[in-house]
């Protein structure tokens, strides 16, 4: 492969590749995002390869060279298409049809139909409420209400092929930057776009860059924070898996703007596929002369490497992340000095989130006004969210900032399944908060969420229905935070431990109102006193639930009830004498001998002994055991 | 940075302070901290030094550099609530058997909980029953009292460059641990005790041999003698409300005699012997140009570090025993002969500013028939505890003198208690021996890029220039050794002390034991030296007597047998295959 040495060569290659792609008469895209792989898309992909292997029309896009541009058919693996709950997904072009829940045994049928230009009705997406079929999934409510900027390529291009990225103006932005702009101009464009950090804090990216750009140093670094640790969040993962070159290009733009000649991807080791695809992307970019020395003949040198995180949530915090990259214990340090002044190995460093970087190429190509045409004035652009929990359409979505929670949960997410009632959304991960139905019309942007006591975080959204106990949910997040505290500062290390302890008392029916008071006191103190953002936001799940669901806490503490019927300690097992046949099977199975009675007459449970294990309920063949 | 910071409505000028905490303390407010030490890196973990800005932000003052126009408050109700809560949280996780804690009365946590009026812990007490690590003869580690401030970890890594301990695990399971969780006695720990000196609680203490001494003192058959190191006299007063550096030799001797010791000796006598021996050894090495640079060997922490980290430098170490070891050897070999006494009826105690001396005293090569020459080693603080236990009112004592002959010394011995002292003593001796001149001061200069290093050079009558290096603080020492290896620095003799400032800052000194105290104690030592009529070791006629009666000449065969020693290579942590379990 010859290196691309100038902008002209890049444009030529792009034309060549896009021409080759346009000549494809059949393109079968199998989603190979993590969600679809978990659902079995690997087998589907292999089955397709096996099915097409004797058909000489099928070519590998990798094989396309200048000489062999011809009509062809191909099977490719793509990154995440977002509609994870319906996976494995297979998309057929140019028919533009999306098949859902594809199994290996459907492959032959899909192949035959595709060759005939036919659509298989039973495999297309059907709206669960109207049962309407959407062969073109883009028209379904899930996709229709989304805006794809960041995820533009995800699920469409082959993430392991630099050619497909280049075909769609790939590396045009860095090429423009290197040939037409000064670092300051790049910085100014990003500042003008109003882009804010997508990692959660929402700090203006241009301002952050500026701090580092004006530093005089022999060496600077740009670091990509891919340590997406929030439970339920997989946006960064999907971007890295689905469109790695976009992030690579983003790193180059940021590096050029701040004066860095080296970038480091910090990606959690739990994302092996993202790391693998990133490695391929970096290698391909190097082979094409897009990374290395004198890129595109501009004199700009840039190299990239990958560091795998070792599984600590706190390493998403930038100073802890830097320590981890340096091979030290991943613990935060006080700021100042800020990384922009003294970061990686003591050099000025900018740390940007994956999604922030993924936004850059299009901001450069389309201009800041284009970017500002999405979202709100203070939070421009679009944002990806990982929509999970009690919602019909779980998956990866991208919406303009300022979209309301209601639109997200009900229009895109399709509402709550099984006829249950919406109760709350947990947004922003462990550092975020729970918002009730009264906040459904709240716009999703940095500032309104913060005002509501939550935060965008990296964009994880967990929808909860009436069967979720809010206290139990808050306890879950507290358990997470407590386990992930780095243990450095007293506030977070000891405070989260005591908060968790009180939360456990509440769900175990052992807490008093005094405990609740103490819980709030610690929560406010650790919010004030913690060393890093993890500690400062550690109390958010508790403070936000106390703000919107205090009555549920009081129900546990004062009324000794769990309204959602989740917390074991409040459950009461009883035998309905009308249904009990007096067989005694439950009494035999009871591990603590809480059940007694005479054969052939109704048995009873002594609730002072009962440990609420549920064995009796599982044992009874007559449905006589009732739980209240 | 120039300008003003408004602290509690008072405008304070920025004058080179590195952080807000320094400024606040300058205004007379003693903002509490556990993890801030001016000589260590900023850690920011204890959250006690928090202040509130005019924007309503709570920031830690230790980690924030002052900036012109800053407006902060140090004692708002919000801050007080934070401080109290931090203390309460720490106490909930702390072994609160304070009355029986060796640190009781000197514990920072105890002091602050008193100051903040913590009269109730609203949290359940954590069950922490970690075994107490008594594997080291110099340092005891009781994790149940550890508040994870990290002072020990940073001291060991940053000041001493050793890193024998570090954090392990995370969150509430965080611990301070040695490599592979081995006992401290089985690690690369050099026993300097600097961690003990900075530990705010009773998590790091030093094993006491005081009970052994009480038993000996109460045994009518036992002849109990004691020898006191030079750095003790300028620090013991601190335990009795005298300022650091106050020379309390007289009261100290009086108190020791009151405790019932049969004879009170001065380790300075042995130090003069050391100077005779080491000078002879050095001059010989210099003439033969062998095993240079010559490294001094008085500091037992340095010796262990050399044996572990620089085994190839063992040949450069002076073979001369340390003053403590010389004192012990002299007593159990020569003194018992002269007194016609059974060795087993003699009990030798030394008082040291050092906890590594406890380790040194247990080196097999410094014993006779398996019986260590020095029976018990106590620190300055432990001596003070004995004096207090006996109810002796130190401040009201009349001054007394050491017993003769082993209580007589020159100024060249007193200065062994501080960095530069041994080198100065040797130079005075060399000059005297070669020129008959009695000079007192060695002019030294710092070396750029090498903190803790001073250098000097002396021209001998034959024109030879002797290059001296004086370095203290093990991290500084390691830098110097690396620079010697790379030929960046060149010395003929290097005096090495593991603790910053030398013995005045030893791990057995009263706390606080920081640069302020060390500087004042150093002043005390210098004053004591100047006060002495005799300031060259060779002028100690009683040492001359010892040679006449016993040792013949310096470096004689008999001197070698009793006053010199040998060293051994020790394994690194990663070379030890033995693991716990």
pLDDT band at B442; cut points 50, 70, 90? confident
* Shortest CA gap B464–chain A (Å): 45
Cα–Cα distances in Å, from B568 out to A354, B381, B388?
A: 55, 31, 40
Q: Nearest Cβ partner of A494 from B42, B78, B89?
A: B89
Q: Which helix (H) or strand (E) holds A302?
A: strand A300-309
> pLDDT at residue B1 above 80?
no
Asked whether B567 and B303 are in contact (CB, 8 A), the reply is yes
CA distance A580 to B440: 104
The span from the CA of A35 to the CA of A47, in Å, is 18
Provide, rounded to the nearest whole percent, the portion of chain A with pLDDT above 70.
98
B546: closest CA among B402, B333, B384, B391?
Answer: B333
ipTM here = 0.90
Optimal mutation site among A342, A478, A528, A539, interface B, most CBs of chain B within 10 A: A528
For the segment B522-535, what is each residue's pLDDT rounded down to a tens digit?
999 999 999 999 99
Instruction: Work out how many CB contacts closer than 8 A connect A with B.
Output: 106
CB contact under 8 A, B44 and A334: yes
Contact present, A384 and A150 (Cβ < 8 Å): yes
pLDDT digits (tens, 9 = 90+) for B299-356: 999 999 999 999 999 999 999 999 999 999 999 999 999 999 999 999 999 999 999 9
Are B123 and A483 a contacting pair at CB < 8 A?
no
Confidence of residue A53 (pLDDT cuts 50, 70, 90): confident
Residues of A with CB below 8 A from B60's CB? 334, 531
Q: Is B360 a catalytic residue?
A: yes
Q: B48: nearest CA in chain A?
A: A529
Residue of A nearest to B50 (CA): A529
Question: Nearest by CB to A485, which of B47, B86, B170?
Answer: B170
Q: Quick one: pLDDT band at residue B165, thresholds 50, 70, 90?
A: very high
Rounded percentage of chain A residues whose pLDDT exceeds 90? 81
Q: Could you give the CA distance from residue B408 to residue A619 in angstroms, rounded to a whole number?
A: 92
| Half-sphere exposure at residue B5, Cβ-oriented, CA atoms within 13 angstroms | 30
Distance from the Cα of A515 to chain B's closest Cα (Å) equals 9
Exposure string of A367-388, with b = 16+ CB inside 10 Å and e = fewer, is ebeebbebbbeebbbbbbbbbb
Among the partner-chain residues A487, A490, A528, the one whose CB lies closest to the CB of B170 is A487
DSSP letter for each residue of B308-374:
HH-GGGGGGB--BPPHHHHHHHIIIIIIHHHHT--GGGEEEEEEES-SHHHHHHT-GGGEETTEESS
Scanning every residue of chain A, which has its alpha carbon at the shortest distance from the alpha carbon of B93? A494
pLDDT at position B128: 78
Give yes or no for residue A69 having a pLDDT over 80: no
Contacting B with CB below 8 Å, chain A residues are 312, 314, 329, 331, 333-336, 482-491, 493-498, 501, 518, 521-522, 525, 528-531
- Shortest Cα distance from B123 to chain A (angstroms)? 7
Instruction: Quickly state the pLDDT bin for A456 (edges 50, 70, 90).
Output: confident
Q: In this complex, do B92 and A333 lie within 8 Å of one another by their Cβ atoms?
A: no
CB–CB of B85 and A495 under 8 A?
Answer: yes
Mean pLDDT to the nearest integer, B211-215: 97
The pLDDT mean for chain B works out to: 95
Q: Which residues of B touch A (CB under 8 A)?
A: 42-47, 50, 58, 60, 62-65, 78, 81-82, 85-86, 89-90, 92-93, 122-124, 126, 147-148, 150, 166-167, 169-174
Q: Given an 8 Å threshold on Cβ–Cβ distance, is B47 in contact with A531?
A: yes
Secondary structure letter of residue B490 according to DSSP: -
Cβ <8 Å between B172 and A489: no
Q: Give pLDDT tens digits for A184-199.
A: 999 999 999 999 999 8
Contact criterion met (CB below 8 Å) for A121 and A133: yes
Q: Is the pLDDT of residue A295 over 90?
A: yes
Q: What is the pLDDT of residues B69-101, one digit of tens each?
A: 999 999 999 999 999 999 999 999 999 999 999
Pairing of strands B71-73, B50-53: antiparallel
Characterize A24-56 residue by residue with b for buried, 16 or more Cβ atoms within 10 angstroms of its Cβ, and e for exposed.
Answer: bebbbbbbbbbbbbebebbbbbebbeebbeeee
Torsion angle in degrees (nearest 10) through CA of A325, A328, A333, A335: -40
Model pLDDT, residue A1: 60
Whole-angstrom distance, CA of residue A18 vs CA of residue A16:
6
Q: What is the pLDDT of residues A544-558, one digit of tens each?
A: 999 999 999 999 999
Pick the catalytic residue: B365, B437, B488, B490? B365
Calpha distance A25→A364 (Å, rounded): 33
Mean pLDDT of B96-112: 94
CB contact under 8 A, B85 and A329: no
Which position among B277, B278, B327, B495 bears the catalytic label? B278
Residues of B in contact with A335 (CB under 8 A): 63
pLDDT of amino acid A17: 86
Residue A74's pLDDT band (cuts 50, 70, 90): confident
- The residue of B93, B171, B177, B201 whose CB has the most chain A CBs within 10 angstroms, and thus the best one to mutate to test that interface, is B171
Distance (Å) of CA A65 to CA A59, A93, A267, B156, B192: 12, 22, 33, 61, 70
Contacts of A333 in chain B (CB under 8 A): 42-44
CA distance B244 to B513: 10
- Kindly identify which residue of chain B lies nearest to residue A338, measuring between CA atoms: B64
Which chain B residues are within 8 Å of A329, Cβ to Cβ?
A: 166-167
Would you call B354 a catalytic residue per the annotation?
Answer: no
Q: What is the pLDDT of residue A428?
A: 86
Give B581's pLDDT tier (boundaries 50, 70, 90). very low
With CB atoms and an 8 Å threshold, state whether A490 touches B90.
Answer: yes
State whether A528 and B124 contact (CB < 8 Å): no
Using CB atoms, pick whichever of B65, B89, B170 lies closest to residue A490. Answer: B89
pLDDT for position B580: 47
pLDDT of residue B192: 97
- Per the CB < 8 A criterion, the answer to whether B521 and B229 are in contact is no
Query: Residue A59 pLDDT more than 90?
Result: no
Q: Is A497–B173 a contact, with Cβ atoms under 8 angstroms apart?
A: no
Categorize the per-residue pLDDT at B460 as very low, low, confident or very high, splitting at 50, 70 and 90: confident
Question: Of the residues B152, B298, B299, B320, which is catalytic?
Answer: B298
Which of B47, B62, B65 has its CB closest to that of A491?
A: B47
Residue B208's pLDDT is 94
Average pLDDT over chain A, rounded to an integer: 92
Cα–Cα–Cα angle for A380, A383, A386, rounded to 5 degrees: 165
**What's the rounded mean pLDDT across residues A530-538?**
93
Burial category of B445 from C-beta neighbours within 10 Å (exposed 0-12, middle 13-18, buried 19 and up): exposed
Q: Which residues of B are less than 8 Å from A491 in CB distance? A: 47, 82, 85-86, 89
pLDDT band at A57 (very low <50, low <70, confident <90, very high): confident
Average pLDDT for B474-494: 97
Buried b (16+ CB within 10 A) or exposed e, B551-561: beebbbeebbe
User: What mean pLDDT is predicted for residues B152-164?
Assistant: 97
B298 is catalytic: yes
Give A319-359 pLDDT, tens digit per residue. Answer: 999 999 999 999 999 999 999 999 999 999 999 999 999 99
What percent of chain B stands above pLDDT 70?
Answer: 99
Which residue in B304, B357, B358, B479 is the catalytic one?
B357
CB contact under 8 A, A489 and B42: no
Exposed e or buried b per residue across B185-208, where buried means at least 16 C-beta atoms within 10 angstroms of its C-beta: bbbbbbbbbbbbbbbbbbbbbbeb
**DSSP character at residue A428:** S
d(CA B233, CA B231): 6
Q: Using 50, 70 and 90 to split pLDDT, how confident is the model at B575?
A: confident
Answer whether A336 sits within 8 Å of B63, measured CB to CB: yes
Per-residue pLDDT, averaged over A474-492, amounts to 94
A411, A536 contact by CB (below 8 A): no
- Residues linked to residue A174 through DSSP beta bridges, in sequence order: none
Instruction: Say yes or no to pLDDT of A70 above 60.
Output: no
Contact B171 A482 (CB under 8 A): yes
pLDDT at position A483 over 60? yes
CA distance B211 to chain A (A): 37
Q: How many CA atoms lie within 13 A of A38 on its CB side?
A: 8
Q: What is the pLDDT of residues A368-379, one digit of tens each?
A: 999 999 999 999
> With pLDDT > 90 as the criterion, what percentage of chain B qualifies?
92
**What does the block give as tokens for A396?**
């990866």
Chain A positions in Cβ-Cβ contact with residue B124 (cut-off 8 Å): 501
pLDDT band at residue A61 under the 50/70/90 scheme: low
In angstroms, rounded to a whole number, what is the distance separating the alpha carbons of residues A313 and B197?
35
Give the confidence band of A285 by pLDDT, cuts at 50, 70, 90.
very high
Whether the full predicted model's pTM is greater than 0.95, yes or no, is no
Which residue do the tokens 């920011």 mark?
B44
Interface contact A329-B171, CB threshold 8 A:
no
Q: Do A528 and B148 touch (CB under 8 A)?
A: no
Q: In the annotation, is B289 catalytic?
A: no
């Amino acid at each position: 492969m010859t290196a691309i040495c100038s902008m002209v060569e890049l444009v030529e290659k792009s034309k060549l590749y896009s021409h080759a792609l346009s000549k494809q008469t059949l393109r079968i895209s199998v989603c190979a995002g993590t969600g679809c792989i978990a659902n079995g898309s690997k087998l589907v992909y292999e089955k397709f390869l096996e099915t097409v292997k004797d058909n000489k029309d099928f070519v590998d896009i990798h094989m396309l060279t200048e000489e062999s541009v011809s009509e062809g058919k191909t099977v490719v693996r793509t990154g995440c298409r977002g509609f994870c709950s319906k996976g494995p997904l297979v998309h057929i072009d140019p028919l533009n049809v999306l098949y859902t829940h594809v199994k290996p045994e459907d492959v032959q049928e899909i192949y035959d139909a595709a060759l005939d230009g036919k659509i298989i009705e039973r495999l297309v997406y059907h709206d669960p409420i109207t049962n309407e079929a959407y062969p073109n999934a883009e028209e379904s409510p899930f996709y229709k209400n989304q805006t794809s900027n960041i995820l533009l390529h995800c699920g469409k291009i082959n993430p392991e092929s630099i050619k497909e990225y280049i075909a769609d103006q790939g590396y045009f932005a860095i090429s423009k930057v290197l040939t037409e702009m000064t670092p300051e101009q790049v910085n100014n464009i990003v500042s003008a776009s109003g882009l804010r950090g997508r990692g959660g804090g929402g700090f203006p990216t241009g301002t952050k860059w500026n701090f580092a750009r004006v530093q005089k140093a022999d060496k600077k670094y740009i670091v990509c924070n891919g340590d997406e640790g929030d439970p339920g969040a997989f946006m960064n993962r999907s971007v890295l898996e689905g469109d790695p070159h976009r992030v690579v290009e983003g790193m180059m733009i940021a590096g050029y703007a701040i004066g860095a000649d080296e970038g480091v991807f910090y990606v959690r080791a739990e994302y092996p596929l993202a790391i693998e695809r990133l490695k391929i992307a970096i290698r391909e970019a190097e082979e094409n002369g897009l990374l290395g020395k004198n890129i595109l003949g501009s004199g700009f040198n840039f190299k990239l490497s990958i560091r795998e995180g070792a599984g600590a949530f706190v390493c998403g915090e930038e100073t802890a992340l830097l320590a981890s990259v340096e091979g030290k214990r991943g613990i935060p340090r006080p700021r100042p000095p800020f990384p922009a002044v003294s970061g990686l190995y003591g050099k000025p460093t900018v740390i940007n989130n994956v999604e922030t970087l993924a936004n850059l190429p299009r901001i450069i190509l389309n201009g800041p006004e284009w970017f500002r045409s999405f979202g709100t004035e203070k939070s421009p652009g679009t944002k990806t969210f990982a929509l999970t929990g009690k919602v019909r359409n779980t998956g990866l979505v991208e919406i303009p900032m300022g979209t309301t929670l209601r639109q997200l949960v009900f229009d895109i997410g399709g509402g709550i399944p099984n006829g249950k009632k919406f109760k709350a959304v947990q947004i922003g991960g462990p550092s975020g908060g729970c918002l009730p139905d009264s906040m459904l019309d709240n716009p999703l942007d940095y500032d309104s969420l913060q005002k509501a006591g939550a935060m965008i975080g990296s964009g994880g959204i967990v929808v909860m229905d009436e069967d979720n106990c809010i206290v139990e949910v808050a306890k879950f997040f507290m358990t997470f935070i407590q386990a992930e505290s780095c243990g450095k500062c007293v506030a977070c290390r000891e405070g989260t431990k005591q908060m968790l302890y009180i939360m456990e008392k509440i769900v175990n029916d052992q807490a008093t109102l005094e405990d609740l008071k103490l819980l709030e006191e610690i929560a406010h103190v650790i919010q004030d006193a913690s060393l890093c953002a993890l500690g400062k936001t550690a109390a958010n799940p508790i403070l936000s639930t106390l703000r919107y669901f205090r009555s549920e806490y009081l129900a546990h503490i004062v009324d000794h009830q769990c309204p959602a019927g989740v917390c074991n300690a409040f459950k009461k097992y009883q035998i309905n004498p009308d249904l009990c046949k007096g067989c005694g099977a439950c009494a035999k199975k009871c591990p603590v001998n809480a059940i007694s009675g005479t054969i052939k007459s109704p048995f009873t449970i002594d609730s002072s002994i009962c440990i609420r294990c549920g064995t009796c309920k599982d044992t009874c063949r007559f449905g006589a055991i009732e739980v209240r | 940075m120039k300008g003003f910071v408004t602290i509690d409505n008072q405008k304070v000028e920025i004058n080179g302070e590195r952080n807000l905490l320094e400024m606040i303390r300058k205004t007379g407010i003693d903002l509490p901290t556990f993890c801030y030490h001016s000589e260590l890196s900023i850690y920011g973990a204890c959250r006690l030094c928090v202040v509130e800005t005019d924007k309503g932000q709570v920031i830690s003052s230790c980690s924030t550099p002052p900036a012109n126009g800053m407006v902060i408050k140090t004692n708002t109700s919000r801050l007080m609530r934070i401080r109290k809560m931090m203390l309460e949280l720490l106490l909930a996780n702390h072994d609160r058997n304070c009355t029986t804690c060796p640190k009781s009365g000197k514990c920072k946590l105890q002091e602050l909980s008193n100051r903040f009026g913590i009269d109730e812990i609203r949290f359940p007490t954590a069950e922490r029953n970690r075994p107490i690590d008594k594997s080291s003869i110099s340092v005891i580690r009781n994790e149940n009292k550890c508040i994870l401030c990290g002072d020990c970890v940073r001291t060991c890594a940053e000041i001493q460059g050793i890193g024998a301990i570090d954090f392990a695990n995370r969150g509430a399971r965080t611990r301070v641990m040695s490599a592979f969780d081995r006992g401290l006695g089985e690690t690369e720990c050099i026993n300097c005790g600097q961690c003990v000196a900075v530990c705010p609680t009773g998590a790091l203490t030093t094993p006491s041999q005081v009970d052994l001494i009480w038993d000996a003192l109460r045994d009518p058959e036992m002849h109990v003698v004691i020898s006191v190191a030079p750095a003790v006299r300028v620090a013991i007063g601190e335990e009795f409300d005298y300022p650091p550096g106050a020379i309390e030799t007289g009261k100290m001797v009086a108190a020791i005699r009151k405790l019932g010791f049969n004879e009170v000796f001065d380790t300075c006598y042995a130090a003069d012997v050391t100077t005779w021996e080491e000078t002879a050894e050095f001059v010989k090495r210099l003439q033969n140009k062998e095993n240079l640079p010559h490294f001094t060997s008085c500091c037992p922490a340095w010796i262990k570090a050399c044996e572990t980290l620089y085994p190839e430098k063992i040949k450069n170490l002076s073979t001369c025993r340390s003053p403590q070891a010389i004192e012990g050897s002299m007593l159990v070999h020569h003194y018992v002969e002269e007194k016609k006494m059974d060795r087993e009826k003699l009990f030798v105690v030394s008082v040291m500013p050092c906890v590594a001396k406890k380790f040194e005293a247990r080196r097999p090569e410094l014993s006779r028939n398996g019986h260590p020459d020095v029976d018990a080693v106590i620190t300055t603080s432990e001596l003070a505890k004995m004096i207090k236990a006996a109810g002796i009112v130190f401040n009201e004592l009349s001054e007394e003198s050491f017993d003769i002959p082993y209580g007589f010394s020159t100024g060249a011995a007193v200065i062994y208690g501080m960095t530069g002292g041994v080198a100065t003593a040797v130079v005075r001796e060399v000059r005297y021996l070669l020129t008959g001149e009695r000079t007192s001061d060695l002019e030294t200069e710092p070396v750029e890029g090498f903190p803790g290093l001073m250098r000097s050079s002396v021209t001998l009558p034959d024109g030879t220039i002797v290059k001296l290096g004086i370095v203290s603080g093990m991290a500084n020492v390691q830098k110097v050794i690396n620079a010697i290896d790379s030929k960046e620095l060149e010395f003929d003799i290097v005096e090495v002390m593991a603790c910053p400032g030398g013995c005045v800052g030893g791990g057995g000194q009263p706390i606080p034991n920081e640069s302020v105290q060390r500087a004042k104690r150093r002043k005390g030592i210098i004053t004591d030296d100047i006060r002495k009529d005799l300031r060259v070791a060779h002028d100690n006629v009683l040492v001359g007597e010892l040679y006449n009666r016993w040792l013949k000449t310096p470096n004689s065969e008999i001197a070698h047998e009793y006053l010199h020693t040998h060293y051994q290579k020790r394994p690194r942590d990663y070379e030890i295959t033995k693991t716990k379990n």
